[in-house]
Structure 1
Amino acid sequence: MYDEKKLHPLTLITDAYNRLVSFVIPIIFFAFSSYRLEGLGLILTLLFFTIFGLVYLVDVLKFIRTSYWIDHNRFVVKSGLFIQKEKDVQISRIQSIDYSENLIHRLFNVTKIEIKTPGKGIALDALSKENALKLATQLHYLKETQRETVSQSAEEAGEKQIDRQTGFSLQKVGVTKSLYSMSLIDIIKMNLMGGSILKGLVVLVGALNIFEELISDTLFDQAETIVSQTTILAQLFIIVLAIVIFYVIGNVISVIKNFDYKVELTKEHLTIEKGLLELKSQTIALANIQSVWEEQNWVQKLFGYTTLSVGITSDEESTTKDDTSESYEKGKIVLLPLVKKEQLASLRGEIVPHFNCLPAQQVVPIRSLRRFIQWPLLCWISLTLLISYFLWSFAWTIGIVGSLVILFYGYRSYKKTGYALSKEEVTFELPKLISTETVYLRKDRVLNLTVKQNPFLKRSHLGKVEVFSALGDSAQNKKLSFIEEADCERLFDWFLVNERSAEPWDQKV
């Protein structure tokens, strides 16, 4: 057993910084609006600082009462305000040791590490670089050797260390390969082909909602008067200018987040590192990859680019606000945000060589086309008529636009829905409104496969297939709708068949 250690004193500073960041909106609000509230503003300001002081006092007491140590095959953290509790992880089950550094961390040359296993995770804030590296090396050595102590073989411990270049991931010196990186130009191209304009709009609208009370109503009235008095050409110029502003805001946010983006590969792990103001690292165990995604929108397809993501099982059900995870959905990680289509096959072969990634074939018959359209269109038209009659007489204009979208998406669903089978893997190609998603699933990672048929589909010899696989702390489901009954049976047989049975995947789609 190792000696019990306390947290670094700089944890108090990082805790104060994190609290100030979480209180930044109330601070700005009180700073700009206290003069309007007169005497009540002073009371609310004092109340705010009192609450902040009490919350930070709790952080100080937790810091004093928190300690950590290694006990045989366990890494243990003991903490608690009044009643101390021990939280531990099995060293043999550690999947990754990730790190992140915000502005305060980098200013004081400290780091935050997160030790993750399939069931739980432990985070230690504000460790010195030396102690964090030493702790990660010890945990890595214990994981590799499965010994109860490392004191017997200090020389051997020096032979198996982590890659110091990448920080604190479970990687060995000399076997790390730089797999993928993004320059500043690549990030800008990614933003141009992605949703930077939408991100900028969301940020701007959110800021206006938060600080609406701080903006004078006269300013809104003047803006409305100016817009009403300008020509159509001037209004178009204002719209274009607004779009440019939204794009610039979204671009800046994305550059700060993805600066110096790189992916490194070892025999057993992938490591993602990125960040300008806050440096983040995340390690992914290759054995933990449950599924592979390829997503391509229209703009990316036009210029020959695509996006590769992987699905993993996550650590804990809830994630903290400052979690280093890159998951946009629970368990889904965008690994290669922008990659040339012709380069994808070789990169994918290095990352997930056990995936075949067969191209999907379109399988929806022409008689299924109306089924993608009729019910959504009928519901939309009915809703539009009700709104037009009872609430707004011009709702039919929106109804026409929505109907065109339904018709377009229904046709895309008919043209783009497909699948492919190999002995150990299934490929699903599923359309979205402006993109196409291709999902690759290994048979041993499929939790359940369901075939659904109502009487109408049975009469037409059609069906639906829904596949469930692990993702994050729960499961994901992917569905093929209105495909031939024979394809449903083929997929079902593929899921149930064993090695000595017939091989439905060899049959022609």
Structure 2
Amino acid sequence: MRRALSPRSIPYRVVERGGGLLVTAFFLFSSASAILGPRGELVALVLAGLAGCLLVGYEVAYHRRFAYALTGDTLDIQSGVIARRSREIPIKRVQNVDISRNIVQRLLSIAVVDFETAGGSETEATLRCVSFEEAKRLQREVRRLKAGEADEESADAETATATNEGTELFALARRELALVGALSFDLRIPGLLFVFLTGGVPVLSSVLPSGSELPVVVAGLVAAVVVALVSWLAGATVAVLNYYDFRLSRVGDELQYERGLLRRYDGSIPLDKVQTLTITDDPLKRYFGYASLRIGTAGYAPGAGESGSEAAIPLANRDRVFALANRIEPFGSPSFERPPKRVRRRYTLRYLIVLGLVTGVLHGASLVFGWPFPWPTVTPLVLAPLAPVAAHLSWRHRGVWLGDHHVVTRNGFFRRRITVVPYYRIQTVIDSRTVFQRRWGVATVTADTAGSASFVSRGAAAVDVDVATAETLRDELETRFRTALAARRGWGDDDGDGAAPSTDD
């Protein structure tokens, strides 16, 4: 049965698009009155009224000519006022049905529905706007059709209890929401303020007390503090707005989440598309016992944007994070095997080289600009003794562990990532050795998945393991993949993972 958009979408879209029309009308009114006088004002008002009528007429026609239908196999959409467009999207390709509502849409009880497909970097289709009840029905129906259930009548009979079927896995407490905001930092702000920073020193110097010529470096430090404070406030505000009332539940074979204050998001993460689990933290979070959990999926990751993964838990007690991760993929408690101790010398040498390059750049800048402060000489004296400490911390927080059904890796100190990959999800085992790694007799073995082959994520990586260990690890991963896949085939594999993982050396 073909359905139409909600009638309430007409006034909403008119108001939404009318903002630009009002701005245009204002400039037209001002220009016409200046050129033609009172007669020009009348002409401008007539033109603005005509444009408003055309906008309303267009939105009414758009509503009447937009139709969609869910069949047993496809999502059919017909749209277009002047040029007609018909689309058929196979239900099997639809990976997520995501619902979003801003404040006005929530007052009108309407919602935007995005249909995302596997492997797609953009939204496949969007309905703007349907009633919220219809949006939830579409979400349930797509899930039912993908699961291959028999008929809509049986699904409708279960609709009354659909809400109770879900099991809540996690709810973000107010204290945890406050911590999410406190630990957030918007890195875009420094870039946006770059123009101000280029002239920031004279501006700040002008507001300093008169009669006290403070060094230029003090004004620069004040500018840096201001930028850092603004970046923190912006990051905290965005994080709180995004993760307000965050909830994660399991409904059937999907994880469903809700979040957002000004704009409410309601989406799902199909469990059969989960490729990796990544637990992240940093020194501050580790000190207070907190961590985050991200879920990597094949193709599209709902709400992930450019990161390629969805934040299942933005911030929570570390034990809660590991408990939820084990409910999604029971991997147990990893016992990591660290790289050989000699790589600590390699890391120390690497940090000293980087420190030397930075010192050279600072020294050259001091000669060009005539800086009075002794950065080029102070920097190596202060930071050089810390290189072995940083090397030891980098070594200590690396490791790999092979469980019964998962490979788990750990990397990073300032941003530590514990990555969990089921063996049957492995698509490629990469054995890579740079020129510098070959000199030290080490290699990196990466278990790539369908959701990690990108610059953002490279799967589970065992970094700087001994060459002999790397060869053994590579063979063991291939063997365990075949064993896990054979066991999985007992109840079916619909993800196209039937081929053995390729090996790159």
Give unpaired runs (5+ residues) of structure 1. 164-171, 317-324, 502-509
Distance 1:208 1:500 in 2: 54
Aligned to 1:6, the other structure's residue is in SS state coil
Is 2:339 aligned against 1:363? yes
- C-alpha RMSD of the superposition: 4.5
Paired residues for 1:23-422 under 5 Å: 63=63, 65-80=65-80, 82-119=82-119, 121-147=124-150, 150=152, 154=153, 156-161=154-159, 172-192=162-182, 194-195=183-184, 198-199=185-186, 202=188, 206=192, 224-227=205-208, 229=210, 247-315=232-300, 325-327=302-304, 329-353=306-330, 355-356=331-332, 358-366=334-342, 367-370=345-348, 372-373=350-351, 375-377=353-355, 379-389=357-367, 397=375, 401=379, 404=383, 407=387, 409-422=390-403
Distance 2:164 2:471 in 1: 49
Distance 1:288 1:252 in 2: 32
Q: Does the aligned pair in 2 maintain the 1:331–1:473 contact within 8 Å?
A: no
Q: Does the aligned pair in 2 maintain the 1:314–1:472 contact within 8 Å?
A: no
Give unpaired runs (5+ residues) of structure 2. 485-505
Distance 2:106 2:96 in 1: 22
Instruction: In structure 1, give the amino acid aligned to 2:71.
Output: D
Query: Match for residue 482 of structure 1?
Result: 464
Instruction: In structure 1, give the amino acid aligned to 2:131.
Output: S
Rate the CA distance shift 1:484–1:206 in 2: closer, same or farther, 3 A.
same
Give the fraction of aligned pairs with identical amino acids, expressed as a percent.
17
Distance 2:149 2:102 in 1: 34
Query: Match for residue 422 of structure 2?
Result: 442
Rate the CA distance shift 1:134–1:272 in 2: closer, same or farther, 3 A.
closer
Rate the CA distance shift 1:377–1:255 in 2: closer, same or farther, 3 A.
closer
Distance 2:474 2:97 in 1: 40
Distance 2:349 2:201 in 1: 47
Q: Does the aligned pair in 2 maintain the 1:290–1:311 contact within 8 Å?
A: yes
Q: CA deviation at 1:336?
A: 0.9
Rate the CA distance shift 1:308–1:9 in 2: closer, same or farther, 3 A.
same
Q: Does the aligned pair in 2 maintain the 1:445–1:470 contact within 8 Å?
A: yes
Distance 1:283 1:483 in 2: 37
Instruction: In structure 1, give the amino acid aligned to 2:9.
Output: T
Query: Match for residue 319 of structure 1?
Result: none
* TM superposition score normalised by structure 1: 0.72
Query: Match for residue 429 of structure 1?
Result: 410
Distance 1:468 1:351 in 2: 19
Aligned to 2:394, the other structure's residue is in SS state helix
Instruction: In structure 2, give the amino acid aligned to 1:443.
Output: Y
* TM superposition score normalised by structure 2: 0.73
Q: Does the aligned pair in 1 maintain the 2:193–2:227 contact within 8 Å?
A: no
Q: Deviation digits for residues 244-290 of structure 1, max 9, x if unmatched?
A: 66645543333222211111123411111011121111100111111
Query: Match for residue 168 of structure 1?
Result: none
Distance 2:118 2:205 in 1: 55
Aligned to 1:493, the other structure's residue is in SS state helix
Q: CA deviation at 1:307?
A: 1.0
Aligned to 1:450, the other structure's residue is in SS state strand
Distance 1:412 1:220 in 2: 37
Q: Which moved more, 1:259-268 or 1:404-413?
A: 404-413
Paired residues for 1:436-475 under 5 Å: 436-453=416-433, 457-458=437-438, 460-471=440-451
Distance 1:258 1:251 in 2: 11
Count of residue pairs the alignment pairs up:
450
Q: CA deviation at 1:141?
A: 4.2
Aligned to 1:132, the other structure's residue is in SS state helix
Distance 1:378 1:221 in 2: 31
Aligned to 2:159, the other structure's residue is in SS state coil
Query: Match for residue 320 of structure 1?
Result: none
Q: 1:491 aligns with which of 465, 473, 492?
A: 473
Distance 2:17 2:417 in 1: 40
Distance 1:230 1:306 in 2: 50
Q: CA deviation at 1:292?
A: 0.7
Distance 1:254 1:331 in 2: 18
Instruction: In structure 2, give the amino acid aligned to 1:492.
Output: R
Aligned to 1:471, the other structure's residue is in SS state coil
Q: Does the aligned pair in 2 maintain the 1:296–1:307 contact within 8 Å?
A: yes
Instruction: In structure 2, give the amino acid aligned to 1:296.
Output: D
Distance 1:371 1:483 in 2: 18
Q: Does the aligned pair in 2 maintain the 1:296–1:305 contact within 8 Å?
A: yes
